[in-house]
């Protein structure tokens, strides 16, 4: 049997993202959103989560291209004096892996992000990461310790079929090949530990290779060939004008992605294919 989980990243990044998340939940197929604990519109996102209790909330772990929760003075190796992480994900990845002196700082910041969301009265159900940083071996090692402690029962195992993607989108072939190689390796590394801990994950995650370009046409194509089991499709919806998302993600099709989540055609086709839309707890939308 095929099941589909539909989520949104970057919840709390800006009011344009937050408005899109609420609209996608109320009027569309969205089942969950991943919140950024250090982002500028965090409090607004919390208010939206509280008035929409059925919307499942996860942590969008941010350790690159964002702000820390802890003061900059406590994280001298991770952030600048204003509390900003590096904007270079490749450089961050190498430093987090090879600089063992950063481990304790990473652990304190990751736990602080979890606690900030929980202290706001939100029960976190899943973990993913900005630019998929949660898959990083050092970060994953920390998460494997913290997820059971805080009752987090689902994890985004970022792994997607390249061949299926290229049937419908031929852009960025080399980039997609490298992403498939890297995330396939990281998924193989993480999967046994997740199984040991009893933490659930989707059989496949759509959005890794077409991030920011999850349009209605693309979604209508890929849902025809979903694998058995649970598939997660994640989006980056937004409502423009919004200076923050335009600055950070100028090439993303935020409004088109919102349109895909709320598309009557997508909903109709999923009904025809008898693919239920649910959250990670198995509650059908």
Percentage of the chain exceeding pLDDT 90:
99
In a domain, residue 281? The reply is no
In a domain, residue 198? The reply is yes
Domain CATH code at residue 32? 3.20.20.370
For residue 241, whether the previous peptide bond is cis, meaning omega lies within 30 degrees of 0, is: yes
Closest Cα to residue 121, out of 50, 222, 56, 27?
Answer: 50
- pTM, full prediction: 0.96
In a domain, residue 280? The reply is no
In a domain, residue 285? The reply is no
**Model pLDDT, residue 196:** 98
Residue 31: domain span = 2-273
Across the chain, which has 285 residues, the per-10-residue mean pLDDT values are 97 98 98 98 98 97 98 97 96 96 97 98 96 98 98 97 97 96 97 98 98 98 97 98 95 98 98 97 90
In a domain, residue 33? The reply is yes
In a domain, residue 235? The reply is yes
Residues 6+ apart with CB under 8 A from 283: 31, 54
Number of domains in the chain: 1
> Hey, which residues does 56 pair with through a beta bridge?
32
**Model pLDDT, residue 143:** 98
* Whether the Cβ atoms of residue 116 and residue 37 lie closer than 8 Å to each other: yes
C-alpha–C-alpha distance, residues 132 and 89, integer Å: 10
C-alpha–C-alpha distance, residues 147 and 124, integer Å: 10
Pairing of strands 154-155, 229-235: unpaired
C-alpha–C-alpha distance, residues 10 and 118, integer Å: 17
**Model pLDDT, residue 148:** 97
In a domain, residue 18? The reply is yes
């Amino acid at each position: 049997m095929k099941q589909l989980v539909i989520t949104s990243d970057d919840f709390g990044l800006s009011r344009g993202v937050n408005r899109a998340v609420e609209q996608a939940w109320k009027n569309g197929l969205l089942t969950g959103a991943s919140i950024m604990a250090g982002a500028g519109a965090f409090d607004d996102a919390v208010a939206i989560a509280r008035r929409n209790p059925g919307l499942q909330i996860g942590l969008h772990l941010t350790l690159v291209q964002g702000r820390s929760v802890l003061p900059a003075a406590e994280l001298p190796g991770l952030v600048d004096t204003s509390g900003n992480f590096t904007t270079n994900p490749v450089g961050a990845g190498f430093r987090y892996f090879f600089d063992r002196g950063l481990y304790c700082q990473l652990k304190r910041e990751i736990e602080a992000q979890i606690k900030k969301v929980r202290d706001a009265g939100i029960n976190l159900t899943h973990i993913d990461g900005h630019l998929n940083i949660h898959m990083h071996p050092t970060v994953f090692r920390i998460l494997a310790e913290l997820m059971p402690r805080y009752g987090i029962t689902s994890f985004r195992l970022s792994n997607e079929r390249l061949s299926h993607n290229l049937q419908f989108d031929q852009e960025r072939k080399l980039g997609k090949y490298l992403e498939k190689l890297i995330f396939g390796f990281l998924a193989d590394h993480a999967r046994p530990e997740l199984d040991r801990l009893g933490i659930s994950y989707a059989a496949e995650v759509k959005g890794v290779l077409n991030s920011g370009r999850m349009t209605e046409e693309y979604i209508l194509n890929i849902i025809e060939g979903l694998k058995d089991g649970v598939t997660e499709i994640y989006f980056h919806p937004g409502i423009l004008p919004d200076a923050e998302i335009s600055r950070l993600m100028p090439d993303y099709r935020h409004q088109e992605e919102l349109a895909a989540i709320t598309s009557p055609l997508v909903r109709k086709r999923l009904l025809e294919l008898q693919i239920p839309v649910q959250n990670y707890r198995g509650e059908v939308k």
